């Protein structure tokens, strides 16, 4: 399970927000998001930053491979 998937389980799903909702917010196909969540495809850094902004968190919380600080608004 990816760090992103773990984060969503704890912080996103309890609020009844779905993977489809996140895919819509990212303006991507749900099947692409699914590949990111199951770890079969790594999202590009730009998308990692976008995901973190949508979720309102520092990207290092959901993408452990990121060593640089990415701030969020």
Question: Residue 20 and residue 60: Cα distance in Å, rounded?
Answer: 23
Give me the number of domains the chain comprises. 1
Report pLDDT for 26. Answer: 94
Q: Note whether residue 73 is domain-resident.
A: no
H or E segment and range at residue 38 = helix 30-38
Report pLDDT for 35. Answer: 94
Torsion, CA 50, CA 57, CA 5, CA 13, rounded to 10? -110
Task: Return the percentage of the chain with pLDDT > 70, whole number.
Answer: 88
Evaluate if residue 11 carries a pLDDT over 80. no
* pLDDT tens-digit series, residues 18-53: 889 999 999 999 999 999 988 899 889 899 889 888
Evaluate if residue 65 carries a pLDDT over 70. no
Q: What is the domain-level CATH number for residue 34?
A: 1.10.260.40
Q: Note whether residue 35 is domain-resident.
A: yes
Q: Note whether residue 67 is domain-resident.
A: no
């Amino acid at each position: 399970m990816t760090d992103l998937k773990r984060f969503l389980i704890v912080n996103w799903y309890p609020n009844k927000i779905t993977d489809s909702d996140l895919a819509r917010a990212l303006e991507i196909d749900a099947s692409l998001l699914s590949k990111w969540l199951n770890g079969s495809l790594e999202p590009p850094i730009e998308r990692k930053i976008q995901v973190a902004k949508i979720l309102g968190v520092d990207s290092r919380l959901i993408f452990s491979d990121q060593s640089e600080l990415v701030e969020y608004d």
